[in-house]
Amino acid sequence: MTSNSPEFGAHLAALKALAAQVAAPNAADVDAKSRFPRETIDALQKAKLLSAPVPKEFGGPGYGMRELAALCSTLAQACGSSGMVLAMHYIQVACIARHAQSSEFFRGYLRELVEHQYVLASMTSENGTFGETRTSICAVERKDGRFKLDKDATTGSYCQHADGILVTCRRASDAPSSDQVLVLVRKGEYQLTQTTSWDTLGMRGTCSPGFKLESTGAEEQIIPGSFADSSAQTMVPYSHILWASLWWGIAADAVARAAEFVRGGARKNPGVVPPTANRLAEVSTQLQAMRHNWLALAAEFDSFLLAPTGLQDLLSIGWALKMNNLKINASDSAPQIVHKALQITGILGYKNDSKFSLGRHYRDTLSASLMISNDRIASKSASMLLVFKDN
Ligand SMILES: Cc1cc2nc3c(=O)[nH]c(=O)nc-3n(C[C@H](O)[C@H](O)[C@H](O)COP(=O)(O)OP(=O)(O)OC[C@H]3O[C@@H](n4cnc5c(N)ncnc54)[C@H](O)[C@@H]3O)c2cc1C
């Protein structure tokens, strides 16, 4: 599948239309009320866009990273929270599609997901493990073909609006904290008790308070293999590339607003280049560099999947460093770009009720460096760089 296929062209056109007609007009209200972007998710379901990562053999289009990143970045230009919800959902679907195909249950589940356009959420965070996704305190308990799983999560985006949640936990009650598995818990089989609020600076539409989860289900809902592999081969690369693409989308919309402001100034004074045009030229270089960073790594990821050594490449230190660098760079760049756009629009961008408003963009992008703390990621890179030689 390439980005030029007619099928992808039709899907991208459908997404652009719903971004303009549904997501953008609702973005300010989603942000102000800190509410789930229900109408946008309904529109994505109607356009069958929630099954974009599902392989063709299960009825989906089987899009690769480049296509998924194009979809997330386009939606984020209209509404950052909606772009983040779509990205987080795709990450969960990809974990199932790439690590659970050996299971008859999950092959059937992927077909069901295509038919019903399920929304999937994620619970990796946990009280007591801080932001470290690769350790768990909670454990899945198995008995007579069933499981029981309880978790005290610090943050759970749109869990109250999801059809299923992928939950990290220890493999068994006697397993070490890093011996984790991913478990799919399904609506109707879990209870959520909200433990904290979600009144945040930005990404307010992701609706991500803390929750206590109590769940049961069939043992076959435990994804085969270990989370160590699905994390390195799928969750981390999908997260960092798709997040970078959507943070870029938010920054791109901020620069588009600044560009419109500059062009408006130029129209008022024909023949004179407004002084703000120089700032626009400067910020557009940073926006382009940010875009090329995630585009290049999305293409590299897709090429790994075609190569016989692909899975090994995804487990290499070199690739892990590239993912960390992408995450840190994109999450630092996005608010800087929005800040520069704000210097161009001036007071009209600072106001919340002008067509050049940039408050939501600014606040949304400030979450990027915290969402898996950049310091935590940098300290892992620091350790890897002690042994890694790039040649
Ligand atoms: C918009 C948004 C949506 C989210 N959605 C979900 C979700 O759906 N599901 C989910 O499970 N989680 C979700 N999260 C939580 C996220 O995955 C992280 O768990 C969380 O952001 C980390 O929280 P923390 O800052 O308290 O933790 P920490 O990573 O522990 O950071 C706390 C502090 O310690 C510092 N620190 C940590 N490690 C180091 C180090 N090695 N060196 C120096 N300083 C360090 C950090 O800089 C920071 O100041 C979401 C977060 C955001 C922002």
Specify the ligand 1 atom closest to the Cα of 130: 30
Are the beta carbons of 226 and 172 closer than 8 angstroms? no
Q: Whose CA is nearest to atom 7 of ligand 1?
A: 156
Give yes or no for residue 135 CB within 6 A of ligand 1: no
Provide the Cα torsion 237, 243, 246, 250; round to 10°.
Answer: -150
Are the beta carbons of 313 and 284 closer than 8 angstroms? no
Q: Whose CA is nearest to atom 14 of ligand 1?
A: 155
What is the CA(122)–ligand 1 centre distance, in A?
Answer: 14
Model pLDDT, residue 391: 61
Give yes or no for residue 276 CB within 6 A of ligand 1: no
Specify the ligand 1 atom closest to the Cα of 84: 1
Per DSSP bridges, beta strands 180-186 and 141-143 are: unpaired
What is the CA(131)–ligand 1 centre distance, in A?
Answer: 4
DSSP state of 213: E
Give yes or no for residue 375 CB within 6 A of ligand 1: yes
Give yes or no for residue 77 CB within 6 A of ligand 1: no
Give yes or no for residue 379 CB within 6 A of ligand 1: yes
What is the CA(155)–ligand 1 centre distance, in A?
Answer: 9
> What's the farthest any 2 CA atoms get from each other in the chain?
79
Q: Whose CA is nearest to atom 24 of ligand 1?
A: 131
From 115, 122, 129, select the one nearest 95 (Cα to Cα): 122
DSSP state of 307: S
Model pLDDT, residue 144: 98
Give yes or no for residue 365 CB within 6 A of ligand 1: no
What is the CA(202)–ligand 1 centre distance, in A?
Answer: 15
The domain limits of the chain are: 6-118, 121-221, 227-385
Class of the CATH-defined domain 121-221 = mainly beta
**Does the global pTM surpass 0.85?**
yes
Q: Whose CA is nearest to atom 33 of ligand 1?
A: 373
Are the beta carbons of 165 and 171 closer than 8 angstroms? no
Task: Decide if 6-118 and 227-385 have a common fold.
Answer: no
The domain 6-118: what is its CATH number?
1.10.540.10
Rounded to whole angstroms, the Cα distance separating 361 from 365 reads 6
Are the beta carbons of 368 and 36 closer than 8 angstroms? no
**pLDDT by position in tens, the chain (length 391):** 457 899 999 999 999 999 999 999 999 999 999 999 999 999 999 999 999 999 999 999 999 999 999 999 999 999 999 999 999 999 999 999 999 999 999 999 999 999 999 999 999 999 999 889 999 999 999 999 999 999 999 999 999 999 999 999 999 999 999 999 999 999 999 999 999 999 999 999 999 999 999 999 999 999 999 999 999 999 999 999 999 999 999 999 999 999 999 999 999 999 999 999 999 999 999 999 999 999 999 999 999 998 888 888 999 999 999 999 999 999 999 999 999 999 999 999 999 999 999 999 999 999 999 999 999 999 999 999 999 887 6
Specify the ligand 1 atom closest to the Cα of 372: 18
- CATH number for the 227-385 domain, one of 3.30.460.80, 2.10.10.90, 1.10.275.10, 1.20.140.10? 1.20.140.10
What is the CA(130)–ligand 1 centre distance, in A?
Answer: 7
What is the CA(136)–ligand 1 centre distance, in A?
Answer: 14
